[in-house]
Structure 1
């Protein structure tokens, strides 16, 4: 049944996949990394050693000051994706976040999709280990986490 749901969602996303492939820029990521080196803090969409992972929820701006709502194409597209996710939820059983991951990974190769699925729990496990690690083990965990995050970014998971 789950396979059928994913197949239906995949068919319905075929149009979205074509549009995504036509884009020249990668989809903006909501994942940011806070990096601190030599007492200087920077933020990036690329992981760094010892980075703190942050999830940004971008503001949609002040759009009703004039009495009419004016939104950009990116916000319009996000709202449309949210509506599609809500419409497919009874079929797929996926939340908006799960649907977005599925949609984003839909254009990846089969091997990349499989590797992304293997990386998901590994990243969560290493992030938990980093929080619980003592000072001696933390450097090793952070190095391993950095390597996995780099691969996750390269694959465009």
Structure 2
């Protein structure tokens, strides 16, 4: 699921939610856990039954506004709306933090795939690596 993050609306990208299971109990958290499953938190756009018009919440309207703004700046910046949002989030990061975030950008999808396809003997190790990478990504506010 983490591979689809780039297609999510801009506000949803910074609000990752994880489904965690421990001792038969299920919990949801913004903090990653061992064996966590990333949950899609993309805001929905409901329809008003009476008028047939779309009812969009403030978060969806803001995401659309941010996307249009990024699209308008694309000829100047050369960045897609997703790249623009990432750059905006990381503007105050140190060069070392930016480098770490960039490395994690490439590593997270690979680690998620490794954990999903790991043989039973290697599953715990793969999930531990994914957990550490997700935690670092969150701690750095990438």
- TM-score bucket (shorter structure): 0.7 to 0.9
- 4+ residue segments displaced more than 4 Å: 60-73
Pick from 27, 32, 51: which aligns with 1:47? 32
Give the direction of change, closer, same or farther, for the CA distance of 1:74–1:63 in structure 2 (3 Å limit): farther
Give the direction of change, closer, same or farther, for the CA distance of 1:64–1:109 in structure 2 (3 Å limit): farther
Give the direction of change, closer, same or farther, for the CA distance of 1:60–1:30 in structure 2 (3 Å limit): farther
Give the direction of change, closer, same or farther, for the CA distance of 1:136–1:92 in structure 2 (3 Å limit): same
- Bigger radius of gyration: 1
Looking at structure 2, the residues matched to 106 and 63 of structure 1 have their Cα atoms a distance apart, in angstroms, of 39
Looking at structure 1, the residues matched to 39 and 54 of structure 2 have their Cα atoms a distance apart, in angstroms, of 29
Q: Which runs of 5+ in 2 are unaligned?
A: 1-11
Say whether 1:29 aligns with 2:14. Answer: yes
When structure 1 is superposed on structure 2, of 69-78 and 100-109 the one drifting more is: 69-78
Give the direction of change, closer, same or farther, for the CA distance of 1:101–1:63 in structure 2 (3 Å limit): farther
Which residue matches 1:128? 113
The count of aligned residue pairs is 131
Shift of 1:48: 0.5
TM-score (norm 2): 0.76
Looking at structure 2, the residues matched to 73 and 42 of structure 1 have their Cα atoms a distance apart, in angstroms, of 27
